Amino acid sequence: MNSVETPSPDIAVESQPQSKTLLVPGIALALFGYCLYWLQANESSQQMWLMLIGGFLGLALYHASFGFTTAWRNFIVNKRGRGLRAQMVMLAVAVCLFFPALGAGELFGEEVRGYIRPLGFSVLIGAFIFGIGMQLGNGCASGNLYHAGGGQLRAIPSMFGFMVGGLWATADYEWWMELPQLAPVSVIESTGVIPAIILNLALFAAIAGFTLWLEKRTHGEVETDRPLRGITDWRRYLKGPWPFIWGALVLALLNFTTLAMTGRPWAVAVAYPLWGAKLAMLLELELEFDFWTYWLQPGRETALEESLTSDVNSVMNAGVLLGAFAAAAFAGKFSFQWRLPVLHWIAALLGGVMLGYGATIAFGCNIGAYFGGIASGSLHGWLWLVAAFAGSYVGSYIRPLFKLDTKTSTRSAC
């Protein structure tokens, strides 16, 4: 199998503007350290550890440029599937770790449960909307976090739109839940742990195989990561860039760690409606949250009264931001990037609203529904994948309306 060599990782690092002093890395470490100390002192050691896990997630996402948005668009537009194949590796490792624990119902003596959600129009339409939003907003739920942490301020309007869209969806949530839907289906319960693992691995292999076939058919060769050199060089781990496979493995392992610590998989999007509601309360907007079905569900009825630092998802999201900031700082790549055409800012805001609305009615985003759903053995995760990929297909060809490029670089940045 022939391969297309990508630029050397070492060259890629050297081509970026390098930090002249240790000031920015020092600020990053001090800020992260203080936040960890504050959580330990004022919340709990668990919240501190969860922020630390979020930090490692942010570091992995940043250094591996492990994304979903660009990886999908690269396959849709350019027929290049390297990023999509990395996602299959991530999912394969995840199901091998998750399924035995979820089948037993416990992990290290603690109860664990996956995201098993209904299959209905809310997932189908919500994921489709989310897929379009990914391409217009130039990032997914996790992507916007690590982009912002790395200094890309263009992620801010997308994140703000995410909050607005998520809050809007909580007002409509009851209507969406009343639409026809099928009962949740867990392949772990339906087939057993081992058959469920085999079935999922076969599907991942089929998807990866299809990307290889199409890429070879289109280009005559397959794009791969450049072979690693100097794997013992600690600076490579600290400064990056990482191969996609490193990102895939780290995300799977840290998601499993999150399951062990919280009893459920990693989630990102569920924090955004809460942030939107908190902002609305701060602005004293007269919204009757007490009567909205979304906020009456178990686990959410007290969320509006509690501090954000007690919310698991908010703490982990903050950790992703701080981890990406530290990764960019030590790599010498941190710089504020905000100058974009007006149409790009509009696309980011509109895309963010679609991300928030779609994720909220579809029971999650690319992390909670796609990654977490499939790792949980829930069929809704596969339905989400199909619908969101279809939305990304549409979104990829809408991008030129906002003067957004449809081409992608050799590295996938969510």
What pLDDT does residue 129 have?
Answer: 98
What pLDDT does residue 15 have?
Answer: 36
In a domain, 246, yes or no: yes
CA 127, CA 335: separation in Å to the nearest integer?
A: 33
CA 384, CA 392: separation in Å to the nearest integer?
A: 12
pTM of the model: 0.90
In a domain, 1, yes or no: no
Average pLDDT over residues 10-18: 37
What pLDDT does residue 61 have?
Answer: 93
Domain extent, residue 359, equals 22-228+240-402
Q: pLDDT band at residue 236, thresholds of 50, 70 and 90?
A: low
In a domain, 3, yes or no: no
Which percentage of the chain shows pLDDT scores above 90?
A: 73
In a domain, 295, yes or no: yes
Q: What are φ and ψ of residue 133, in 5° steps?
A: -60, -35
What pLDDT does residue 284 have?
Answer: 87
In a domain, 345, yes or no: yes
In a domain, 221, yes or no: yes
Give the tens place of pLDDT for each residue, 112-170.
999 999 999 999 999 999 999 999 998 888 899 999 998 888 899 999 999 999 999 99
Number of domains making up the chain: 1
In a domain, 10, yes or no: no
Strands 106-107 and 110-111: antiparallel
In a domain, 91, yes or no: yes
